[in-house]
Structure 1
Amino acid sequence: MRKHILIADTSKVSRYVLENYLSEKFNVASVSSISEALDISNEIKPDLVIMSYELKDGNAFQFCESLKEKNLNIPLVIITSNKEEISKYDAYEYGIIEFLDRDKIDESIVDIVDEIINLYSNINLSDSYIVAVDDSITQLKFIENVLQQTNAKYKLFSDPKKFLMEIEKQIPDICIIDIFMDEIDGIELTKAIRKNKKLVNTRIVIQTGSRESSLIRTLIVFGADDYLLKPYSPEELLLKIINNVKIKKINDELDEINKELFLKATTDPLTKLYNRRFILEQLNILIANFNRYLTPFAVIILDLDHFKHINDTYGHDVGDDVLVHFSSILRATLRKTDIIGRFGGEEFLCLIPNISNESIATVVSKILSNVRSYKIKSNNETITFTVSIGCCIFNKNYKTSNEIIKCADEMLYMAKNNGRNRAYLKIDDDIIEIT
């Protein structure tokens, strides 16, 4: 589809030259006044406006203000001559994105216009959130004019302290931060952001007027991802925003992929508990902590009683349901800091860190009680089940994970041999039966 270009210029010659070059590739409308330009902008919303500074009934800045009043975000380019003294910075504040030299317009204008339109028309940042922090209201206004072209959600802060207070309310994709501010400078702000684990993927773009390589290195060392050398054009800012949003989204996607891979590698697909490999790794970590800090922990092995009978009587689907429900009982009974895993088949392994000898008996007794009172409905039948438990408290007599698991296994064997639906707990040399 051909893009629409609006040319607004009091010079007939200039309009003719621009139309001549652009009309082969674009739909071109040509006017000489603000009122005409506004009428066309309302009617077709052009993809780009190329205009002279002076128009019949006003100037380019007034046209920019009129567009804003009508909530029309249209890229604007000014054509100027050497005789005209127009502040680029003032123009950027009003939302002008580029300058073209009237005396140098030739066939290359087609490629220039094409690049500008492609840049602005392909922006899709509606799902992005961008924050700018600068104690200069003028600079914030300039940034806002660019952000309005992107459809991104954004928030502007002139007070760095207020920014730090509010940043966790909505995690930004990008923070554009000025390096020199009275309250908190950009480096200190960057450090504060990087200390927050929730903001690990948030991109930090620092504005600086210094080209000193040592300063740039310092910014990167403390966590900045990119920088803008002031003064910069709206196009430069826009490109930085687009590129950094892309990187942020890619990093977010990689995080999600890594989380999924971690879950697949560490969890049992049926019960969603940790798998055998992961829980043994955690056991070795607990042993290392005990050897270094004497941090107490218990190892519990649990085995569902007569599970084969459940499978044979009700079918494997019901057997799977029993395993899933039993997993839920363990989650509900144990603490969030406890580590619960499926060890294999109907056997489960729980690691209970920071537990006293007195408390572990209460924990085991509670598991037995909660399992006994649990009922599963299946095909109009009520199914109940019980569990046998073996538990050992780790001490200096154990050297490896195999030794402590062997102890818990022996306690489990005692529970099975003495009627099931009970637990045996070993603390040092004492063995306690819990029924």
Structure 2
Amino acid sequence: MRHRAIGWSSRSRSGRTNRSRRRSSSSPSERSMWEATRRRSTSRRRGRSLRTRFRLQDGHVRVARCRIVEVGSFNRRGVSMADGARILVVDDHKDNIFILEQLLTRNDYRVAVARDGVEALERATETAPDLILLDINMPRMDGLEVCRRLKSEESLSNASIILVSARAKEGDRVEGLDAGADDYISKPFSPKELLARVRAQLRLKGQQDQLRVSNQSLKEVSIRDALTGLFNRGYLDARLEEEVARLERVHAPLAVAMVDIDHFKRVNDTRGHLCGDEVLRSVATSVVSSVRRCDVVARFGGEEFCVILPDADSHGARRVAERLRARIESETMSFAGESFHVTVSVGIAQFGEQAQSPADLIALADEALYEAKSSGRNRVLVASGSAPVEGLVPAEEESGPVSSDSGNVAPG
């Protein structure tokens, strides 16, 4: 069982309390160079105290005293098991770490500690803290460099950082804030003020996290088809532009497949639009399950879908299209107690002489789709002029079950 400090005072060598005079007794630079020797009570009884003696650079001695009470247990990695926010305390002085650790755990924060800049980066990666209390003057890597590196890492940049340092000049504060810190507090600090700043930063981070989630949700909604969960037409157009630009740089093939449900109007007319919606969702799932992980599936409009097949020529794209056509044909659909089957027709086009823009590629694939439907439906046709490229790995060899993170179907 660990212990918690619930307040401290300072005594000089003569034994007189210097709570009100401590701040003026030595400069911040002197306090930053304390040579500390800690004498800690090992009793677990309430009311016992911890005494820490600090010898300043000028030779004067200060004694910090704090009352000890029991707190919750810590795990083996030194992280408090409290239910509060995760806070990483970084300081090269064990006494500073101890005081901050006890102050924070008393307020139900989960605390991890690091004793230099390099260890701070390691612990931040391990624990993903919500807030970091960071000293500046440390061995191996100072706090400013740690701050810059944390803010440059996407996975860690969202953590709030409060610099806690004996360097109290205006230039030091400006330098710290410019390095990416969210707040700056000078040593010695008031425990109440420190906790207030911690709460303020955590409130701000909570609001930023909520805003980030909301923005991500709005972005997801803006690129998804509400009925099927597939990407929508707007995303398809933008992604196709990106793929065309990419293949022009790397000289790779690109194919597009247009998929249309045969006799879909008959389904709506005879079984109702609710059944039609269920057919659209089922076909969308089958298409996603049949394509490669790198392929992009979108709802083009109505009962029509479009598949972007990067690094695939018309020959490889046809293999993928035949697989999804056969899968949909073999599946039994049911609605309102009745079972039935649907089929699809597919038109394929490859980027090349006859299709040198995204619009041309879609138009050429649509022409092939029209020919497939006119020649009997439930078949795959490749647009004339879409010749396969020599040396391409067949798409079938790259296929496999689509993982949940493929992006084609919206989560949930």
Pair 1:343-2:317 in alignment: no
| Match status 1:263 vs 2:186 | no
- Please point out which of 148, 161, 173 is paired with 1:204: 161
Checking the alignment, whether the CA contact within 8 Å between 1:94 and 1:145 is kept in structure 2 is no
2:367 paired with 1:398: no
Shift in Å at residue 381 of structure 1? Answer: 2.6
Distance 1:259 1:399, change over 3 A: same
CA gap of 1:240–1:377, structure 2 versus 1, over 3 A, is same
- 1-side partners of 2:209 and 2:61: how far apart? 43
Question: What's the counterpart of residue 175 of structure 1?
Answer: 132
**Contact between 2:232 and 2:300, CA under 8 Å: does it hold in 1?**
yes
| Structure 1 gaps, min length 5 | 1-47, 54-58, 72-84, 96-124
Q: Which residue identity lines up with residue 344 of structure 1 in the other structure?
A: G
Q: Is the contact made by 2:344 and 2:378 (CA closer than 8 Å) also made in structure 1? A: yes
- Whether 1:420 aligns to 2:377 is yes
Query: 1:392 and 1:223 mapped to 2: Cα distance?
Result: 50
| Cα distance in 2 between the residues matched to 1:159 and 1:262 | 39
For 2:273 and 2:321, locate their aligned partners in 1 and report how far apart those are by CA, in whole Å.
28
Query: Which has the larger Rg?
Result: 1
Residues 85 and 130, structure 2, Cα contact 8 Å, conserved in 1: yes
- Equivalent pairs counted in the alignment come to 334
Deviations 1:84-104 (A, max 9, x none): x995x825x668xxxxxxxxx
Instruction: Note the alpha carbon deviations across 1:242-261, whole angstroms, 9 max, x for none.
Output: 11101110110001110121
Name the SS of the counterpart of 2:383 in structure 1.
Answer: strand
Which stretches in structure 2 are left out of the alignment for 5+ residues?
A: 1-5, 12-16, 20-39, 48-59, 69-81, 389-412
Partner of 1:310: 267
Q: Distance in 1 between matches of 2:170 and 2:352?
A: 57
CA RMSD, aligned part only?
A: 3.5
SS in structure 1 at match of 2:140: coil
Aligned to 1:130: 87
From 155, 158, 165, the equivalent of 2:122 is 165
* Deviating 4+ runs (over 6 angstroms): 48-53, 64-68
Whether the aligned pair in 2 keeps the contact of 1:357 and 1:427 (CA below 8 Å) is no
C-alpha separation in 1, matches of 2:196 and 2:293: 45
Report the counterpart of residue 90 of structure 1 in structure 2.
64
Q: 1:185 to 1:355 in 2, by over 3 A?
A: farther
2:106 partner SS:
coil
Q: Calculate the TM-score normalised by the size of structure 2.
A: 0.71
SS of the residue corresponding to residue 95 of structure 2 reads helix
2:367 and 2:308 map into 1 onto residues whose CA distance is 17
Superposition pairs for residues 319-338 of structure 1, below 5 Å? 319-338=276-295
SS at match of 1:198: coil
Q: Look up the match of 1:26.
A: none
C-alpha distance after superposition, 1:211-258 (max 9, x if no partner): 455544443344322222222221221122111101110110001110
Q: Which residue of 2 aligns with 1:360?
A: 317
1:291 matched to 2:265: no
Q: Could you say which residue in structure 2 is the equivalent of 1:37?
A: none
CA distance in 2, matches of 1:50, 1:285: 62
Rounded to whole Å, the distance in 1 between the matches of 2:360 and 2:10 is 85
Q: For residues 147 and 423 of structure 1, do their structure 2 counterparts lie closer, same or farther at Cα, with a shift above 3 Å needed?
A: same
Deviation of 1:309 after TM superposition, in Å, equals 1.6
Give the 5 Å matches for 1:5-404.
Answer: 90-91=64-65, 126-158=83-115, 160-395=117-352, 397-404=354-361
TM-score, normalised on structure 1? 0.68
Q: Which amino acid aligns with 2:185?
A: L
SS in 1 for 2:214: helix
SS at match of 1:192: helix
Q: Which structure carries more helix by proportion?
A: 1
CA 1:170/1:426 → structure 2, altered by over 3 Å: closer, same or farther? farther
Aligned to 2:53: none
- Aligned equivalent of 2:30: none
Residue identity matched to 1:288: A
Distance 2:146 2:67 in 1: 28
Distance 1:136 1:299 in 2: 62
How much has 1:392 moved relative to structure 2?
1.2
Q: Choose 280-289 or 161-170, whichever is displaced more.
A: 161-170
One-letter code of the match for 1:191? R
Distance 1:421 1:228, change over 3 A: same
The range that moved more, 318-327 or 377-386, is 377-386
Cα displacement (A) at 1:409 = 0.5
C-alpha contact 1:304 1:385 (8 A) present in aligned 2: yes
Q: Structure 1 residues 200 and 296, CA, compared in 2 at 3 Å: closer, same or farther? A: farther
**1:393-432 C-alpha deviation (Å, 9 max, x unpaired):** 112553432211110100111110111111112374549x
Alpha-carbon distance in 2 for matches of 1:189, 1:286: 38
| C-alpha distance 214-300 of structure 1, shift in aligned 2 (>3 A) | farther
Contact 2:314-2:386 within 8 A present in 1 as well: no
Matching residue of 1:411: 368
